[in-house]
């Protein structure tokens, strides 16, 4: 029970809530009422759970249980409709979470094209750690290092905070989740996967509307493939050979491209599913036609698609953004080789909400 108290109610699964209800002499259905209040209903306080007896609510409070929703400290609105949220946890640590509305003719969170009629679609980009330990040289989050992992409740809480702020009805609005914010989800694997299960079983997100991005934590890719419920997999590739990748992504020194590509080939894809490879293009570093041809060889035989991202600039980043012409040539070579490739249009770049720009910026 002490470990459950540390977590608070948000982040507990049905089995853990059943233990609490049983300890207080409550029937099993009280656990279901608690679960429904926390997740589908997204209620923020015990007093709001009118289905529970007052005595049970009072006993929970007396024991120290509460619903600890992360708090939105600040939000920043982009000209393209993107909103960057600075979200505070109970201990005062903050992370960033991004709301990206779609339907302006751009690209959706899963790499497909959106049309004007898709105004009701949106994507939430969620953080899994305070900071990040992977140290990718083109990412502002790397400058923070890593402070700690987020709990399952803090991961789910980000989603709930944004849904409640945007007044989202999940039965009427299609919302995707991408675990591509601060941190490496596979270095916080147990809490990340617990959060996934709570979002699916509780909040109401189909796993098909979730994608997780990893920098290439090979053992966890194997574990992830064996999960009965899991999001889609995206791998941050960002280089076509070990020399370049080790320079811009030090994690490659531990799990190199041969190991990473083998894990991708072994990954058990579902019907019609593809692995997404994300590739941040850095001017004259990894964006030449020769690099594109190396990528084609790397991905040969893997059912996949590639999202190309021209570097989003930031203070302290020592790389440049390639020209549109270089990006287009790179994309055309992949497509000609039969690899679906998309150029990801930056969202929220003016408010430091775009890919690689999250650094708890407060202005």
Q: How confident is the model at residue 98 (pLDDT cuts 50, 70, 90)?
A: very high
Q: 63-77, 91-105, 107-121: lowest mean pLDDT where?
A: 107-121
Closest CA to 292 of 235, 254, 339, 259: 339
| CATH code 3.30.70.580 for 71-351 | no
The structure's pTM equals 0.91
Predicted local confidence at residue 118, as pLDDT: 42
- Enter the tokens of residue 315: 């203070």
| In the chain, ranges of CATH 3.20.20.70 domains | 71-351
Active site residue 139: no
Active site residue 294: no
pLDDT for residue 353 is more than 70: no
Q: Rounded to 5, what percent of the chain is helix, strand, coil?
A: 40, 20, 40
Please state the rounded mean pLDDT for residues 297-301: 97
DSSP state, residue 193: H
User: What would the pLDDT profile of 322-346 be if each residue is shown by its tens digit?
Assistant: 999 999 999 999 999 999 999 988 7
Architecture of domain 2-63: Orthogonal Bundle (1.10)
Predicted local confidence at residue 104, as pLDDT: 39
| In the chain, ranges of CATH 1.10.150.530 domains | 2-63
C-alpha–C-alpha distance, residues 352 and 287, integer Å: 23
Predicted local confidence at residue 7, as pLDDT: 60
Q: Please pick, among 28, 66, 96, 171, the residue that the annotation labels catalytic.
A: 96
Cα angle 193, 95, 169 (rounded to 5 degrees) comes to 65
Q: Please pick, among 132, 136, 304, 355, the residue that the annotation labels catalytic.
A: 355
Instruction: Indicate the Cα dihedral angle 74, 78, 81, 86, nearest 10°.
Output: -20
Predicted local confidence at residue 6, as pLDDT: 55
Please state the rounded mean pLDDT for residues 157-181: 96
pLDDT for residue 113 is more than 70: no
The answer to whether residues 129 and 188 touch, using CB atoms and an 8 Å cutoff, is yes
Please state the rounded mean pLDDT for residues 141-153: 91
Q: Between these two residues, 272 and 108, which has the higher pLDDT value? A: 272
Predicted local confidence at residue 351, as pLDDT: 54
The answer to whether residues 147 and 182 touch, using CB atoms and an 8 Å cutoff, is no
User: What would the pLDDT profile of 22-62 be if each residue is shown by its tens digit?
Assistant: 999 999 999 999 999 999 999 999 999 999 999 999 999 99
pLDDT for residue 354 is more than 70: no
Name the average pLDDT for the chain.
90
Q: How confident is the model at residue 3 (pLDDT cuts 50, 70, 90)?
A: low
Q: Is 138 helix (H, G, I), strand (E, B) or coil?
A: coil
C-alpha–C-alpha distance, residues 62 and 223, integer Å: 40
pLDDT for residue 120 is more than 50: yes
pLDDT for residue 217 is more than 70: yes
C-alpha–C-alpha distance, residues 208 and 232, integer Å: 7
Predicted local confidence at residue 347, as pLDDT: 66
């Amino acid at each position: 029970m002490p470990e459950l108290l540390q977590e608070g109610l948000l982040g507990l699964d049905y089995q853990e809530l059943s233990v609490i209800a049983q300890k207080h002499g409550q029937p099993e259905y009280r656990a279901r009422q608690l679960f429904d209040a926390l997740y589908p209903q997204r209620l923020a306080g015990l007093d709001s759970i009118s289905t529970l007896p007052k005595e049970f609510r009072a006993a929970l409070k007396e024991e120290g249980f509460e619903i600890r929703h992360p708090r939105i400290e600040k939000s920043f609105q982009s000209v393209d409709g993107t909103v960057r949220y600075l979200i505070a946890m109970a201990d005062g640590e903050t992370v960033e979470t991004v709301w990206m509305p779609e339907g302006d003719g751009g690209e959706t969170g899963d790499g497909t094209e959106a049309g004007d009629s898709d105004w009701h679609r949106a994507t939430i980009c969620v953080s899994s750690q305070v900071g990040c330990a992977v140290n990718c040289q083109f990412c502002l989050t790397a400058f923070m290092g890593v402070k700690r992992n987020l709990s399952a409740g803090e991961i789910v809480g980000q989603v709930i905070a944004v849904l409640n702020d945007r007044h989202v009805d999940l039965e009427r609005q299609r919302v995707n989740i991408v675990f591509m914010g601060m941190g490496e989800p596979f270095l916080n694997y147990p809490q990340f996967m617990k959060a996934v299960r709570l979002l699916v079983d509780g909040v109401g997100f189909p796993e098909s509307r979730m994608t997780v991005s990893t920098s290439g934590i090979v053992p966890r890719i194997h574990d992830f493939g064996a999960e009965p419920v899991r999001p889609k997999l995206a791998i941050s590739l960002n280089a076509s050979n070990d020399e370049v990748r080790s320079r811009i992504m030090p994690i490659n020194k531990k799990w190199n491209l041969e190991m990473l590509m083998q894990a991708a080939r072994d990954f058990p894809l579902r019907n019609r599913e593809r692995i997404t490879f994300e590739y941040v293009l850095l001017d004259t570093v990894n964006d030449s036609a020769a690099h594109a041809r190396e990528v084609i060889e790397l991905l040969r035989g893997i059912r996949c698609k590639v999202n190309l991202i021209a570097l989003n600039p930031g203070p302290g980043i020592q790389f440049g953004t390639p020209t549109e012409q270089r990006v287009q040539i790179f994309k055309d070579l992949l497509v000609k080789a039969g690899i679906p490739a998309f150029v990801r249009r930056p969202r929220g770049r003016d408010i430091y909400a775009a890919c690689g720009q999250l650094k708890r910026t407060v202005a």
